[in-house]
Structure 1
Amino acid sequence: MTNPLSRRRTSRRTFLTVAGAGAAAAAVGGSGLLAGCDSTGGNKGPGTTSKEEINKIIPNYIQNTSVKADVPSVTGTAGAVSDPVFLSYPAAPAQTVASTPGAGGTYTTMTPLWGAIPPSSGNSYYDAVNKALGVTLKIQPSDGNNYGNALPPLFAADKLPDWIQIPGWNTGTLNFGSAVAKFVDLTPYLSGSKIEAYPNLANIPPGAWSAGVWNGKLYGLPVYPSNAVFNGAIFYRKDIFDKQGINADAIKTAEDLKALGAQLTSKAAGQYAFGDLFGDDAAYATQLFGFHTKWDQDASGKLVHKYETEGIIAALEWHASLAKAGYVNPADLAGTDQNGKQRFWSGKIVVTADGTGAWNGGDAKSGTAANPSYVRQAFKLLSGKAGQAPSIELQPGAAMFAYLNAKLSDAQIKELLAVANYIAAPYGSKEWLVVNFGAEGDTYTMKDGNPALTESGSKLVATTFQFLVTPPAVTTVGEGFTQVAKDYAAWQADAVKYARTPIFYGMNITEPSQYSSIGQAVKDTLNDVKVGRKPISAFTDAVAAWRKNGGDELRKFYEGIRDKYVTGPSATPGA
């Protein structure tokens, strides 16, 4: 598995940072983790928490106003709020923690890391952060690509570290509804007004806490939280559009986009109009054709899976028509993810779909290295057909959470929560600089108004402490790519106006294991149909088999959850 953060937001190391993770949202798939419900809604085990209970359990939200953004957030629909934008780091960073939070304790940690693991011994970055925290956190990054395989043995042997990060997509293999009892119930410490003791944690938006609730208790500390998490965007090469006189703002629908195929395709030059615009399991097609990412309730009150919607049929027919017309790059037709970004940078594809984390200064740097005129831009939200309003499904506010070991004493729990409050200091603060860059003059310097890693820092600094808890997402800029930040902010500010949430938004749902593989045949068929290798009938046949092999029973399972644990109608009536 590649770094899931690349699908959702970019790394702190890049010049534009959308702190908070895309791929993560796609990897979790929008379902929560309500474990232990049978198909009739009866409770067979732990894990269940209703939306009403969640709202009572999560911490109160107290926004930090000590740091002012250059471009403020925009409030949209369904609780979506765009990330604030900082064009440079504040010249006078705010201090959000009055004194050293720790009392000298030593604790073990475990977090994933997608990238080179820095040395633990003699790491001045680790030393600088631990000094500021007043504790010794023994940072132990583990290969993110194999992280899911490393977790079960730790649970089985009861050898969990003091503080561990567990991505939402790994909880299903851990029977987490029961296993979560190995961690600290944070409800007595953080629920409601209790969060006031930890102002930086209180600054984390409410939507980011809900998937950290299990069995009616709060367990998880949010990692990369945001109130505007979307499963990607449709990007185009603005420089190529400008050269060919194409006005991107005139592209409103899928058919408008298709009409560009011939103009943007030159097989002699090795240029194709499109990459894969459908995505894995329809990840990007859901946005374009307005259907949901998993289950939702239609206008009649029936639960409908995305495989059963008219939208996915329309998306398949449309994408297959692009392929049959010769507008899609052969590598994308073959399902080759490798070098996809290079194809976009070099102009071998002009329009592509990707996570919003792909849009950053690092991308601009790589793109302009391949072509000095390179400019990535995203279409404003498109609709499947004329007269249809655009929409975009809001993903969970956090897809990864960190947990404290239940073997810790009350004093140790309070010490680590004080440390978490420091680590969660917002962008623009003194504490954020320490947590993310270490000591100035050693692992980073200020360059053009923004922190930049030194040669030493590039070897020692990695995303580690940030995987224990993270402040709310922001968009930042550095290395001269100011326009990239402004463009991304403008796109997100527009997108939040069309946000929608499915019926089970913010709820943790662990499906019974007997249904774990019934969708694979449909996914495989999708990959063939979307590129024209198989007809639409192959997909409808696969869906019929899916329903017979457990899909209809799975619907009953979700109906039981809806009837017992969901209060109020779906926020998105209609399939």
Structure 2
Amino acid sequence: MAGTGGATRPYGPTDQTNDFPEGACVNQSFDRRRFLALVGLGAAAVTGSGGLAGCTSKGTSGDGGTNAGELSRVLPRYIPNTSVKADIQSITGKNGASSDPIFLKYPDSPVTTVSGVPGKGGSYTTMTPLWGSIPPSSGNPYYEAVNRALGATFTMQPADGNTYGDKLPPLFAADKLPDWIQMAPWMTTKLNFAKAVGEKFVDLSPYLAGNAIEAYPNLANIPSSAWAAGVWNGKLYGFPVSSTGFNSAGTYFYRKDIFDQLGIAADGIKGPDDLTALGKQLTDAKGGRWAFDDMFGGGGAYAAQIFKFPLSWDLDSAGKLIHKYETEGMLAALDWHQKLVKAGYVHPDAVAGNTETDQRFRSGKVVCHAGGVGAWNSDDAVSGTSANPRYNRQAFKALSIDGQPEVEIGSGAGWFSYLNKRLSDDQIKECLAVANYLAAPYGSKEWLAVNFGTEGDLYEMKDGNPALTEKGSKYVATSYQWLASPPSVVVPKAGFVQVAKDFGAWQAQAVQYAVKRVFFGMNVTDPAQYATIDQPVVDTITDVRFGRKTLQDYKNAVETWRKAGGNAMRDFRKSVMDRYGTGLNS
């Protein structure tokens, strides 16, 4: 649902590194925009159980790309919607990255993008995640209003996002999946998804590939590159949700109001040494203020930006596959963060594993922290300024250890929804028409209906933007948006226009440092027998970064990981790369 101050998209966990769920402010522009030839396996799934699923040598080119012809046949044609103009246009960066367009207020005359009611009176079950309070399903005026607009009955039963992935394996095993379900790729690792996807879900290729998408103009407004990661085994299965032109793991935040009070210029902070010096300057333990919360991230998700190691695999200078665990950058990052902790610059609750980072940040107990950009929004501004009118969250410009920043980007969309294969052809077409309605762009009448329900009852216009009423706050929740959504845009909420502008300005500079790593945009499923070998290393990383174990302990854990399957995974990944390319041409 639209509900923050700079990006309208469904929000999820901010420490997930595989697909970088982000979402700042209010995100409704998933412009993962241009399909740059999408050479390489791109989206044809590769599985480690029984070989390379659905991939053949047909169409292999000599430039590292394979199945390019197959991909071009199944991907929908991109037909951009030009009926709504943003106040601040997207900025194009490196490697196909681009910032999200910014709307400072909702258009005065919302456009109509769907004529009539899309549904035919069908009834469908759904399953979507929700981070936050789950509203009642029965008698919910928001669900009733949206279902009326859709012309079909969708039983919305959001599940706790924190445990959502754990609910999926039993449903798959018992074949009790709903008609329409949302899953992020990182939730599929325990599902043998490359095999299951064809058994459980509808192949959308015949309905949407190429020019067939013209029947669904709002879906056609989603760039081809966002659809690519929804392709498995050479067929299109997933509707992209939460697509954006800049899909990154997160960033480093600071309290600008405190910096201003102390006369600190944020632009002078460019790398880890500057942050270390800042730690001494900001920390006043007796006064209850520490410079930092966690500055590392689970598995190094945020430290990777500064120390330039990959979020997963990369190619070294000799072209050999190397995992992030094996990089000098990871060792340097662990050493740096451990020294911050031992110097007393990191809040003790963070060291103890307490994850209430935002509360400490808003209260001023910590001045800087690393996190997903979903934390930077108008809801945060409302909470922060209610306690301190001067509260001002900002993000550092891209940081690096060598003065040459790199921000690793993920594929066109990090979330996808799927239709159950048991649906009839007529039901599939009805759901496609509904998806087209749900994907109506920001600035349309349909977008307001999907995200806010009924005007005057569940929302009203304030300062040119939709705002939930007290009743709306009780019943409206991010739900339908997980089934299908338009490209992301940045918009203000609750009058915090500057938050949207600030987020947009940060994103516009960050896209200039975008980099792709090996296997970009490729659905690669590692052999199932190695699904658990990472956890001991992840646990050791946590202990080392917080000073409870040594760097040698980490090196030992990595060596154990190699013997337990890390080297075997490297061999498997090399076979994928040799046969299907690196993904770096996508």
For normalisation by structure 1, the TM-score amounts to 0.92
- The answer for the alignment partner of 2:366 in structure 1 is 349
Residue 285 of structure 1, aligned match among 281, 288, 303: 303
- For the residues of structure 2 that align with 1:313 and 1:166, how far apart are their CA atoms? 33
Matched, 1:362 2:379: yes
Amino acid of the residue matched to residue 534 of structure 1?
K
Offset at residue 43 of structure 1 (A): 2.5
- The answer for the alignment partner of 2:238 in structure 1 is 220
Q: Is the CA contact (8 Å cut-off) linking 2:520 and 2:584 kept in structure 1?
A: no
C-alpha change, 1:474 and 1:401, in structure 2 (3 Å) is: same
Q: Mapping of 1:384-463 within 5 angstroms?
A: 384-385=401-402, 388-463=403-478
- For the residues of structure 1 that align with 2:334 and 2:159, how far apart are their CA atoms? 38
- The answer for the alignment partner of 2:259 in structure 1 is 241
- The answer for the alignment partner of 2:324 in structure 1 is 306
User: Could you list the per-position Cα deviations for residues 433-455 of structure 1 after superposition, in whole angstroms to 9, with x for gaps in the alignment?
Assistant: 00011111121111111111122
- The answer for the alignment partner of 2:47 in structure 1 is 36
- The answer for the alignment partner of 1:207 in structure 2 is 225
- For the residues of structure 2 that align with 1:382 and 1:203, how far apart are their CA atoms? 34
Aligned residue for 1:66, secondary structure, equals: coil
Matched, 1:466 2:481: yes
Q: Mapping of 1:49-88 within 5 angstroms?
A: 52=68, 53-88=70-105
Offset at residue 157 of structure 1 (A): 3.0
Offset at residue 47 of structure 1 (A): 7.7
Offset at residue 22 of structure 1 (A): 6.5
Matched, 1:486 2:501: yes
Aligned residue for 1:86, secondary structure, equals: coil
- For the residues of structure 1 that align with 2:139 and 2:539, how far apart are their CA atoms? 48
Q: Is the CA contact (8 Å cut-off) linking 2:54 and 2:234 kept in structure 1?
A: no
Q: Which moved more, 1:324-333 or 1:355-364?
A: 324-333
User: Could you list the per-position Cα deviations for residues 69-90 of structure 1 after superposition, in whole angstroms to 9, with x for gaps in the alignment?
Assistant: 1111111111111111111111
Aligned residue for 2:189, secondary structure, equals: helix
Q: Is the CA contact (8 Å cut-off) linking 2:207 and 2:213 kept in structure 1?
A: yes
Taking only the aligned residue pairs, the percentage that are identical comes to: 57
- For the residues of structure 1 that align with 2:541 and 2:460, how far apart are their CA atoms? 49
- For the residues of structure 2 that align with 1:473 and 1:157, how far apart are their CA atoms? 35
Residue 294 of structure 2, aligned match among 276, 286, 311: 276
Q: Is the CA contact (8 Å cut-off) linking 1:163 and 1:404 kept in structure 2?
A: yes
- For the residues of structure 2 that align with 1:538 and 1:570, how far apart are their CA atoms? 38
Gaps of 5+ in 1: 1-10
- For the residues of structure 2 that align with 1:368 and 1:25, how far apart are their CA atoms? 25
Amino acid of the residue matched to residue 225 of structure 1?
S
- The answer for the alignment partner of 2:26 in structure 1 is none
C-alpha change, 1:262 and 1:27, in structure 2 (3 Å) is: closer
- The answer for the alignment partner of 2:60 in structure 1 is none
Q: Is the CA contact (8 Å cut-off) linking 1:37 and 1:48 kept in structure 2?
A: no
- For the residues of structure 1 that align with 2:52 and 2:447, how far apart are their CA atoms? 44
Offset at residue 205 of structure 1 (A): 2.3
Aligned residue for 2:346, secondary structure, equals: coil
Offset at residue 218 of structure 1 (A): 0.3
- For the residues of structure 1 that align with 2:345 and 2:44, how far apart are their CA atoms? 40
Offset at residue 532 of structure 1 (A): 2.7
Offset at residue 395 of structure 1 (A): 1.8
Q: Is the CA contact (8 Å cut-off) linking 1:36 and 1:47 kept in structure 2?
A: no
Offset at residue 330 of structure 1 (A): 1.0
Q: Is the CA contact (8 Å cut-off) linking 1:502 and 1:570 kept in structure 2?
A: no
C-alpha change, 1:20 and 1:209, in structure 2 (3 Å) is: farther
User: Could you list the per-position Cα deviations for residues 128-150 of structure 1 after superposition, in whole angstroms to 9, with x for gaps in the alignment?
Assistant: 21222122222222232332333
- For the residues of structure 1 that align with 2:445 and 2:270, how far apart are their CA atoms? 44
Matched, 1:265 2:296: no
- The answer for the alignment partner of 1:110 in structure 2 is 127
- The answer for the alignment partner of 1:126 in structure 2 is 143
- The answer for the alignment partner of 1:6 in structure 2 is none
Matched, 1:475 2:486: no
Gaps of 5+ in 2: 21-41, 58-65
- For the residues of structure 2 that align with 1:480 and 1:487, how far apart are their CA atoms? 14
Residue 162 of structure 2, aligned match among 133, 145, 162: 145
Offset at residue 212 of structure 1 (A): 1.0
Residue 194 of structure 2, aligned match among 177, 197, 202: 177
Offset at residue 481 of structure 1 (A): 1.0
Amino acid of the residue matched to residue 115 of structure 1?
G
Offset at residue 570 of structure 1 (A): 6.8
- The answer for the alignment partner of 2:577 in structure 1 is 562
- For the residues of structure 1 that align with 2:564 and 2:201, how far apart are their CA atoms? 36
Aligned residues: CA RMSD: 2.1
- For the residues of structure 2 that align with 1:159 and 1:543, how far apart are their CA atoms? 39
Q: Which moved more, 1:347-356 or 1:409-418?
A: 409-418
Aligned residue for 1:28, secondary structure, equals: coil
- The answer for the alignment partner of 2:31 in structure 1 is none
- For the residues of structure 2 that align with 1:420 and 1:195, how far apart are their CA atoms? 12
Amino acid of the residue matched to residue 201 of structure 2?
F
- For the residues of structure 2 that align with 1:189 and 1:20, how far apart are their CA atoms? 26
- For the residues of structure 1 that align with 2:503 and 2:102, how far apart are their CA atoms? 9
- The answer for the alignment partner of 1:251 in structure 2 is 269
- For the residues of structure 1 that align with 2:153 and 2:77, how far apart are their CA atoms? 30
Residue 232 of structure 1, aligned match among 245, 250, 253: 250
Matched, 1:19 2:34: no
- For the residues of structure 2 that align with 1:383 and 1:443, how far apart are their CA atoms? 45
User: Could you list the per-position Cα deviations for residues 286-332 of structure 1 after superposition, in whole angstroms to 9, with x for gaps in the alignment?
Assistant: 11111110001123110010111111111112112212222111112
- For the residues of structure 2 that align with 1:322 and 1:54, how far apart are their CA atoms? 47
User: Could you list the per-position Cα deviations for residues 84-116 of structure 1 after superposition, in whole angstroms to 9, with x for gaps in the alignment?
Assistant: 111111111111112221222222222222222
- The answer for the alignment partner of 1:5 in structure 2 is none
Q: Is the CA contact (8 Å cut-off) linking 1:444 and 1:452 kept in structure 2?
A: yes
- For the residues of structure 2 that align with 1:569 and 1:299, how far apart are their CA atoms? 15
Residue 332 of structure 1, aligned match among 345, 350, 363: 350
C-alpha change, 1:317 and 1:539, in structure 2 (3 Å) is: same
User: Could you list the per-position Cα deviations for residues 252-280 of structure 1 after superposition, in whole angstroms to 9, with x for gaps in the alignment?
Assistant: 12111211121101111011111111111
- The answer for the alignment partner of 2:212 in structure 1 is 194
Q: Is the CA contact (8 Å cut-off) linking 1:235 and 1:378 kept in structure 2?
A: yes
- The answer for the alignment partner of 2:39 in structure 1 is none
Amino acid of the residue matched to residue 54 of structure 1?
L
C-alpha change, 1:265 and 1:75, in structure 2 (3 Å) is: same
